[in-house]
Amino acid sequence: MWTPETDISKNLTLWITHECNMTCKFCRDSAHKGIKGFMSMEDVYKNLDTAKANGITTILIGGGEPTLHKDIIEIAKFCKRLGFFTVITTNYTKPDIIKKLDGICDTINISVYKENEHLIPNQSDFKSTLCLKTLMYSGRWKDKADFDNFIYKYKAKVPNMVFGCMRGHTKWCKNHQEIDFYDEIKRESEIVDGSRGNQVWIYKGTFIDRKDLSSSHKRHMMVDVRGTVYNADGKMMLKNEKILESINGNVRG
């Protein structure tokens, strides 16, 4: 489960595909749109073995939609065999596959959209820790009361809820960054420091991750489906044969 104190320096995101069965306007993976295909198992094993040997402790399996990868169960099992804390982020359009990942992944992040709200499961039916991740953008809720009702409704099913805020990475996102009732929420929130140099508001037992207020773009390491490695500054680095150096540079010492 993500918390504001989470040490992201030992995380590695494994983007096993950029393909997705949804077409969200605010897609955070928009920079990779058009990149087809799936990470080969050879690359999965190589990347995970290298990560393990070099101090990475948490693997974040993401996409695109990672449940579209035909070997997703084996990927999660391999993460656990190597002893990683294993997190998957999914749009929950394939609940049958998510059920098979239950008890293998430590945390299952479910991205909540208007389209899948009705599918949200109950934490009590899962062994893995569930976390609902929802983006805040103008028009998503009509006012603060509507937002509060959303929290009450879904917190009863899944207690862990994290809200992300638009950082303006696409034109649509820039136009939908402002939420009319941010000030009202802030007044009722406890404000803590996030691990990426950002504010986190703790509001009604949920985390509102105000990365949009941060000038720093501190990220953790990522390797994408082509084998391109991104370092902790978000800079694209080399190819996956260089993952060893980039991990060494970011984690060791």
Q: Which residues bind ligand SF4 (CB under 6 A)?
A: 20, 22-24, 27-29, 63-65, 91, 111
Contact assessment for residue 52 and residue 69, using Cβ atoms and an 8 Å cutoff: no
Parallel, antiparallel or unpaired: strands 206-210 and 199-203: antiparallel
Cα separation, 98 vs 210, whole angstroms: 28
Determine the distance from the C-alpha atom of residue 120 to the mean position of all C-alpha atoms in its chain, rounded to a whole number.
17
**By C-beta, is 23 or 124 nearer to ligand SF4?**
23
CB of 75 to ligand SF4, least distance (A): 17
**By C-beta, is 63 or 194 nearer to ligand SF4?**
63
**By C-beta, is 27 or 56 nearer to ligand SF4?**
27
CB of 135 to ligand SF4, least distance (A): 8
- H or E segment and range at residue 100: helix 95-101
CB of 198 to ligand SF4, least distance (A): 20
**By C-beta, is 16 or 185 nearer to ligand SF4?**
16
Among residues 8, 43, 5, 44, the alpha carbon closest in space to that of 232 is found at 8
Q: Residue 241, SS3?
A: helix
CB of 31 to ligand SF4, least distance (A): 11
Rg (CA), the chain: 18
CB of 101 to ligand SF4, least distance (A): 17
**By C-beta, is 25 or 142 nearer to ligand SF4?**
25
CA angle 218, 112, 90 (to 5 degrees): 70
Contact assessment for residue 100 and residue 75, using Cβ atoms and an 8 Å cutoff: no
CB of 189 to ligand SF4, least distance (A): 25
**By C-beta, is 48 or 110 nearer to ligand SF4?**
110
Which amino acid does the sequence have at 45? Answer: Y
Six-digit token pair at 101?
């990942």
CB of 219 to ligand SF4, least distance (A): 17
Parallel, antiparallel or unpaired: strands 199-203 and 190-193: antiparallel
**By C-beta, is 91 or 128 nearer to ligand SF4?**
91
Cα separation, 232 vs 79, whole angstroms: 21
Six-digit token pair at 246?
């980039």
